[in-house]
Every structure is written in C-alpha cells, then in structure tokens.
Structure 1
C-alpha cells in the first residue's frame, strides 16, 4: 500500500499545483481585466465623423449645419426630439436588450463565432446598437478578425463613457437611411416631410426597418419589400410589449404619405453661407481643413436664421427654378458688420457657385452713389448741382480718346440736378460728374467703403463698368446706412474646440469714420428718391413699409438693387453665368426680391427714419434755378445740404401768381412741404 499512498500524494500535489496555477491565472486575469477596463476608460476614443464633425451655429446659438468630408450635413437632434415610437421601433428590431446589456449580446456573439469557425470566414456577426455605432463611427465595414477586435474595444469604451440614452441618440443621428439621408431627422424630412418628433407609429416602423438594408428596404425602390420590413418591425414591437397587436395592424394598414424623392431638407438651409464659412475658417483664419472636418469645432456665426429664411423665401418666390437665371443676395448689419443672410444662387443642388461673392459682375448704376458721395464729401457738388442731360461726347486721356454714353431708351431731360439724376439714373449726368471730380477721388472713396476689386480709371467707371461682388456692394452701402461709419464685414464670432476651449475669437471692432456723417446723410436722402414717384425702384416702394434708400443698376446681362435701412444693408444681383443677355422682365426680378426680403427680415423691427446729423441743413430751393426758393417760386422743394454748401441767393426769376398773398402763402407752402417731407420719411 505504500506505493498507492505515494501515488495519491503525488496526484494530490499535482492537483494542488494545478489549482494554485488556476487561482493565480484567475487573479492575474482579474487584474488584467481591471487594468484593461481602467485603460479603456482612460483612453480616448478616436475621432469620429458624427461626434467630431465641426458644427455651424447661428447668431442664436442653434446648430444650422455640420462639416463633413462625405457631405453628411444632417442636423443632429436630441433624443427627446425623436418620436418615442421611433426609438421603441428601433430598439425592438435592432437590439431588444439594449438597456440591459453592456454593449454585447453574448448569445449572439457565441452563435456568430461558432458559425464563423465552421465556415472559416467572417460571414456572421452580432450587432447590438452600440456595436453598430462603434462600427459606423470608427471603423470600416470589412469582415475581418482585427476589425471585430477593434469593434469590441470601441463598443466597451462607448458603454463606459456614455449613458444608454446618449448612445441611442448618437446612433439615431448617425445611422444611414438611404438616398443620402444620414440620421433620423434627415430621413424623416426626406421620406415624410416632417421632423423626427412628429413621426407616428406607422412612419416610425417604416423608417426603423430601413437601416438593415437602405437600398433593399427603401420605399422609393421597392414598396412591397419596405412594407414587409415594416411588418417585421411592428411584430417585434408587439413581442417586446411596446404596442398591442391591434395597434400594429392599424399602423400596417395605414396609407403612408411618402414625399417625392429629393435630397434631405436638412441640407437646404444656408448651404452657400456654410461654404462661405468653410472658406473663411480655412483661408482667412488659417485653420486646417482636416481639423474643420474632424476636429469637433464649434463655429459661432453672425447668421440670423429668420433673415436667412426670409432671403431664401424671397428668392424662391422671385426666381424661376426652371430657368438658368441666377441670383445672389447678401445682407449686412451696418451697425456692427455682421453678415445676417446670404444666398448664392437659385438652387444649391444645381450649382454650388456662390454668386453673392462673385466679383465679376458689373454693378452698373448701383455704383453711382459711391461717386456722388465722393463729389458731395469733397464739396465740389451738391444735390442741386446741374448738368445738361443730352447726347454728349466726352474726351479724356488728354483728349486722345472719346466716350459717348447713352441714356436708357435714349431719354434726355435737359438741365437736371443730382436728385433727379439719381432718381431716373441719368447716365450723362453721372459721367459729367466723374469728369468734373476725376476718377481718383471716386476710386479712393470706393476703397474706403470696402470695395476691394480693381477699378478702372476711365469715364465709364461712373456707370459701374468695373466688376465687383454683391458682398462688396452691401458692405459699401452699409457705411451710408451707418452715418459714414464703417464696420468691416464679420461672419465668424467665435470658434471653440471639442473641449469648449476658445480657438478663435473675433477681435473687438471699432467703427471707422471713413466719410463725414453729413455727406453720408445727404446721399441717403438722395437715394430715398429712387423709391419715390418717378424713381427706378418706385414699383416696389409700396412693399416696404419703412424708410429705405437704395439704387438699382442694369446692364445687358446684370440687374441689381442695392439698398438699406438703418438696420440692414442688402445687395441683390440677378443674371446669367455665361453673361447671356437678360430680358426686360428678367431685369426686374432684383427689386421685388429686395423688397420682399427687407420687409420680411425686419418685420419685428419698428420702422426708423435715418437720423439727421447736426451738420445737415434743409432749405427750400427752386429746382429750375438751384437757388433758394423766392416768394414767387411755384415749384419749391425742400433739399438737404452739408452745412456751408447750401445756396445763399434767392431765386427772382418767377413772377407772382394772380391773387397771391405773398409771404403768407410762402409760409403755408413751407409748412405743407415740411409736413409732406415728414410723411415721406415715415411712410416710405
């Protein structure tokens, strides 16, 4: 028996050693697991397109767009902005144990492993919502062991770092629903024309079934397959107790109002502005494009979505999408330089070229106010300076060259003053002005106002033949709107990184007095005449219920209206990309767009008159002579002047009317003129 006893002792010793080894391995395993979990928790997840795409905010701090190299421009929504039926449907069909597991369906994992070992490939996979999110955010969709290991790691990290609701929210904002729709909000808008919050049970079940096969289960591609999938989702919801069988049957039999196939509506708002901001951030602020697309930046801008929507609506109402006619609109707050709205074309999906920034369009007569401002601020001319509107040949370059402009329709009015010339857009008067004051002061004034394009010092400069952009024109007119003070245009206020640290903050801007307030006001007063009876924009004056100043401009291929109120300076351009000649009806599209936009954009702002500076004086003049109105002048007009440039001589060329009471009648006329002047200020 000693031999048997020795064998038992040996066996016991071996067993004891094995148990010790197993215990040691278990302890080491536990230590390794703890270290691994701590490591995973402490290690940052890689950058992901969804959570780390930079976001664009409007002036109110609302997200209006995202930046993505793949064009995933859907606007993310919070979980409480998604219909409960949609979240229930998604969980029921994709991951019933979502709220109870730690990211993995272990039974599903085991089953998939056995199948993959048997088939010697990666044909099977278990996919919880968290695993799908990890794959979509950080990995490719190739079926390899290395990818599966990474997926498991990222899945664990997601579960450690985020709550279940946060994971579900990210999933619903990331998942692909077909036809370019990334995220539930984009999908709800595209398929049903409504927000995710407003989806009903039938719509929710339809959408929840699509991600399994976005092409296969798309109602646009195959309605039968889409309905079959919808039924699977509804049955899953019944199984999980989310709904009753009666509710499922009712939802399945509901006739769905699926909208015509189009791009998701979430991509439509402020698209041109988004592209403009991309250019500003990368080229002007020096932020790398990769950081913009993957760095999780938060870009806070000056865009006012109420004004932006007003601009887009005005263009939609004023332009024909079936035509190749294009449009550009940019609007700036003159009080601080903030870019409030920008539309660069008729349809972003058709053309991404931003016409609001295009600097190859002739501003035509809309450039004239810049020249008249140069004339008035230099005190070489006033509102009553006269030239003879008649066919004229102008000589320049030491009389070696000639220039012979024409008036529209060959209409010439004879001797006219500046107010009349601006109202009717007289070309002869404009070139006469340029020839008197010279091209250098005009170019210098344009640069002061913010025109950066090159200007050709020739007589035709008076008629706006040097190309500029609508952006430049809106910026230049904003100086007039702001009493001669210039604020450089601003679009980006602040940029923060994913950790909310400030990357960029716009420097505080001090307005620069580039032209005296009195001269700016006189030109503003003259530009109000454009909307009065006989002015080139009179046909839209009744659509703007507030004081407004501006100037139209038309060439054979361009139509403009640039104008402003004290709160907003806006330029609208209409034309063809290939410089095709525009028709008369096409040339008249700019003014209605301007009027509709300005009235809608400022609907919550009380009308305000342009403030009259102390250095401005108002006197009654006789338009025919340019002198102070005398006792017998029948057609007197109240005119404004920079103090010291007003006329001092009285007109004595008119005889008294029969029955005139002399001075009393003149005083009554003056009172009446003041009242009419005030009404014009208030009601225009």
Structure 2
C-alpha cells in the first residue's frame, strides 16, 4: 500500500540554495523580468518609429542631369552631371569584395546588425563616455544615409538599428550593396559609384580595374582628404590598405595583391575634362533654368539634348589654343602666359572667346567662353568688346537695304550714303544691342558687341536676312524618357535677302566660306568672322583688362594663319 506524501511547496531553487541567497535570487529574477519588459518596450517603440519611414526612399535617388551633343553623344563633365544609378550587374565583383574588406567583412553573415561589432563598440563607448564608435554595417550606413540620421546619440543608434532591420527584411543583400554604392559620396562632387568612376578615372564603373576598385573603396571613409585628385599618395595608401584587408579575408593572395599595387594609377585629366565644353554646359544649364521650374530640375534624371557639335567645338578650340600659344611663345611677348598662371588668381594672360550659330535655326554649334574654365568661369562670349573694322558688314547691310552701293573695304564712304541712324537701325535688327554713336566714327567701328551678338548678326546675313534666335537646348526628356521640351527655332525678318547677300560680300571668300580677320585700331581686340555653309562663327582675342595684344600686321598674320588651319569645315 503506497503512502501519500504532500508535494513540497518550495521551488527547487530554494531547496538547492542556502536561505541567505533566496532574497538576492528573487531580486535578480525580478530585475531580469523588468529588464525584459523595458527592452521589449524600447524595441517596440523604435520598431513603431521606424515604420513611419518609407523604405522606398532607400532606392529612390535623385539622379543628375546628362547632357548630349547634337549627335546624341554624352558630353563629358566630371562630377557636374550628378548621380547616375547603376545595376548590380554593372558593379565589378572586385568592387564588392573591396567594399566588404574595407567596410563590412561579415556583411553576408549578419542580418543588418553585427552583434559582435556592436558589443565591442558599446564597451568602448561606455569606457570613453562617448559615441564615436559606431560599429556600422553597410546596411546601417545605408539606413543613416537614406534617412539623414546624422546626430550621434543613443536615440539615433536605436532608430538606425530598427531601420536597418526593416531594410534587411525588405531588400536582398545584392540590392543593399547596389543602393549603398549608388547613394554614398565619393568626393570630387561625385555621388554614387558611377559618377565617381567617371570623375576619377574617366570611365564607367563596370570598366574599373581591380586597383581602381580598391582605391575607390579605400577613400569612402574620407572622400575629401583621400581624393586621388587632391592627394594621390594618400589615395594609394588607402588602396593598399584595402588590398591588405582582402588578403587577410582570403579574397586574393599576396602575389595578386602585389601585382595590383604595382599597376600605375591613370587618373582622369581633370583640367582638360573640365575645360572641354564646360563653358557651353554652363550656358546650357542657364538655359535649362529658364525652360524648366526648380521642381522639375530637382527631380533629376533629365536627359538634355543640345545643339552642340562636339567635334567642331574641339577643333575650333584646339586651333585657337595653337594660335595664342604661338603668340605667347614669341621671345618679344611682353605679357603673362597661361602656363605660369597661379591658381586662385585672376588670369592675366591673353584670352579668346568663340561661338558658332547655325544660320538656319539659331542652334549654337560651339561655345567657348575662355581658354581655361578652371582658371576663370567668366563667359566671354557675353562680354562686349570694341569691333573696329569687324563692324563693316552691318554698315554694308544698312546701305544695301536702302538700295545704295556697297563699297567693300570702304565703310565710311558706304555709311555716308545713309547716315548713322540707318546703320544703327539695321545693326539692331541684326541682333547688335549698341549703344551706337551718331557720328561717322560709327562707320569706322566705334561700337562694341559681344561675340554672341556678332555670331547672330553674321548668321542673319547668311540666312537671307532672317535673324535666328540663338538656343542651346534642342530637346529635354525626363527620367522615364518622355519628351518634356522641344525647341522651336524662331526667325525674325531683319533685312531683305538681297541686302543680306550684298552685306556678306564684304567678307573675303575662301572656298565657299566667307571670312574676315582684323583688329581694332587700338590693337586691343582682334576679331575673326567666319560665315560658312552651316554656321556663323565670331571669334574674339584679347585681354580681360584691355591691353595691346600685338601689332596690327602681326595680328592679321596670326589670324590669317588660323583661318587657313581651320579650313572650310
């Protein structure tokens, strides 16, 4: 017969522990439960707070503006075009490995928060009574950059962790990598890996070499101080440190590391790339601001098709550089030369400006506002300079419009037939703004105009007396490819076709192209006018602060040689 025994009412832990430990044990249990409740409350609060953020913002990035020439070729402009998004397939695998080695070795192992690193950073922060140790994973950095969480505090860290968990739950690892590389700042005005590749190495991201990938990833933590364009030795050091980390992680062996480190660094020619078409792009951006409102521009992703002929622009600029460099190379040249220019000072060397306007439409085929955009961004195609004998075609136009005889090479005699007022009227109709003297000095060219005005005026003569309105932007498409603007050429009757033809006859004919070369009587401004089958070009050479360039015969010889080299294209 079994004997019934009452169940011992004491819990096992009480029976196993001395009575003196019962109180502390009970208190510890209660504190543990309280900590769990508090932790759960904090976690719930921050998860709810994180729910207020739109995760689509992670992938929703404002893209830059891309400019194209008249043939649809992209116009190079490092950094200026803004962010360009790439897909995972366009990111080299070596770039990904470099990034993991440098920023987040356990990226594919954790779920957004690296608990080991977080614990290590927490201990350091408590010890230092600071919050400088972040232990941020790539996912956490993406959360911080996507939602502009910048202040250093526990609140920021808890919110960042909550957002990171949401991002990891919503995106794949490859998507997180892609969004990260598309978003972050790489220095030199470049946001995103695609623009960084173009800014630093003048190539798309998919074409970066292994060494270039390692260098770009190496500068992420200090894009300003480690920029290879500013401090190449520091950038190389960061590249090598990245390669060393890749060896430690087993991504590459020591032999491969040394081979990559030995490769020469070929950076983009920043100054040359910045100068090429930069004045034209600056003008195109001004025109874009007039066409679209700020909201449309800020949305980004615009594709702006210009009227620029990149080949003609490059040819014109190269020949102009050749001409003025020949002047500077002369032993008797008394002025500063470009190669001796001190950065940060106003350029004192001789300048040039040139602009070509398509006669039929007014589309600007070339715009060169100066010799060096990085030295001076002032657009000299909009600066008024004395014309001298370059004004003769408009004196001839006024006379021809009145049915008077045009006397090539004799503007005073031609102008006397009609008077200054009539010359002013026709010059204004051709696009020159003045002011105009009401004396015979006007016939001698005592008037100023901009290269832009001269190009339009010349185009009027080449377009049967119809003045074209100049423009740079032919078409604009939004990020989806929809056309949101198309230019409509505007022509204004200025003078009769016969008068325009007679006026153009004062320009010397060279194989189908009419040209004029000459300087003002003061020898402070030199002009070349060129009226070809498709475009009217006005070129000015001189100093920003008017000064004698050279003797008139020397200038005439220089410009004639320039016209000969330029040819009939």
Relative to the length of structure 2, the TM-score reads 0.74
Change (3 A) 1:441 1:568: same
| Alpha-carbon contact 2:64-2:84 (below 8 Å) kept | no
Supply the distance in 1 between the matched residues of 2:413 and 2:55 (Cα, whole angstroms): 75
1:349 is the counterpart of 2:355: no
Supply the distance in 2 between the matched residues of 1:550 and 1:227 (Cα, whole angstroms): 52
* Residue number among 256, 266, 270 corresponding to 2:264 in the alignment: 256
Supply the distance in 2 between the matched residues of 1:332 and 1:160 (Cα, whole angstroms): 56
Aligned to 1:303: 308
Alpha-carbon distance, 1:572 to partner: 1.1
Give 3-state SS (helix, strand or coil) of 1:437's partner: coil
Supply the distance in 1 between the matched residues of 2:526 and 2:540 (Cα, whole angstroms): 6
1:554 is the counterpart of 2:519: yes
Aligned to 2:276: 269
Alpha-carbon distance, 1:226 to partner: 5.3
Question: What's the CA shift string for 1:459-493, capped at 9, x where partnerless?
Answer: 22223322111111111111222233332111234
1:120 is the counterpart of 2:129: yes
Provide the aligned length of Structure 1 versus Structure 2.
518
Alpha-carbon distance, 1:244 to partner: 3.8
Question: What's the CA shift string for 1:598-648, capped at 9, x where partnerless?
Answer: 76xx5xxxxxxxxxxxxxxxxxxxxxxxxxxxxxxxxxxxxxxxxxxxxxx
Aligned to 1:319: 324
| Alpha-carbon contact 2:358-2:534 (below 8 Å) kept | yes
Structure 1: state its 5+ residue gaps: 8-18, 383-417, 532-545, 603-684
* Residue number among 483, 491, 497 corresponding to 1:517 in the alignment: 497
1:247 is the counterpart of 2:256: yes
Aligned to 1:527: 507
Change (3 A) 1:456 1:65: farther
Supply the distance in 2 between the matched residues of 1:351 and 1:435 (Cα, whole angstroms): 42
Supply the distance in 1 between the matched residues of 2:557 and 2:145 (Cα, whole angstroms): 50
Is the deviation greater in 474-483 or in 96-105?
A: 96-105
| Alpha-carbon contact 1:52-1:296 (below 8 Å) kept | yes
Alpha-carbon distance, 1:328 to partner: 0.8
* Residue number among 385, 390, 398 corresponding to 1:366 in the alignment: 390
Q: CA RMSD in A?
A: 4.6
Supply the distance in 2 between the matched residues of 1:78 and 1:209 (Cα, whole angstroms): 20
Change (3 A) 1:481 1:126: farther
| Alpha-carbon contact 1:186-1:266 (below 8 Å) kept | no
Supply the distance in 2 between the matched residues of 1:189 and 1:43 (Cα, whole angstroms): 27
Structure 2: state its 5+ residue gaps: 12-32, 326-337, 340-347
Relative to the length of structure 1, the TM-score reads 0.63
Supply the distance in 1 between the matched residues of 2:243 and 2:442 (Cα, whole angstroms): 70
| Alpha-carbon contact 1:55-1:296 (below 8 Å) kept | no
Q: Residues 284-433 of structure 1 correspond to what in structure 2 (within 5 A)?
A: 284-285=290-291, 287-288=293-294, 291=295, 294-296=298-300, 298=302, 300=304, 301-320=306-325, 321-322=338-339, 324-359=349-384, 361-382=385-406, 418=407, 421=408, 426=409, 429-433=410-414
Change (3 A) 1:30 1:140: closer
Q: Residues 44-123 of structure 1 correspond to what in structure 2 (within 5 A)?
A: 44=57, 51-60=62-71, 64=75, 76=84, 78=86, 84-96=93-105, 98=107, 104-123=113-132
Aligned to 1:40: 53
Question: What's the CA shift string for 1:494-542, capped at 9, x where partnerless?
Answer: 456667777x63563353443333333343344243x4xxxxxxxxxxx
Change (3 A) 1:280 1:430: same
| Alpha-carbon contact 2:462-2:536 (below 8 Å) kept | yes
Supply the distance in 2 between the matched residues of 1:560 and 1:93 (Cα, whole angstroms): 57
1:565 is the counterpart of 2:532: yes
Supply the distance in 2 between the matched residues of 1:327 and 1:492 (Cα, whole angstroms): 24
Change (3 A) 1:517 1:110: farther
Is the deviation greater in 154-163 or in 168-177?
A: 154-163
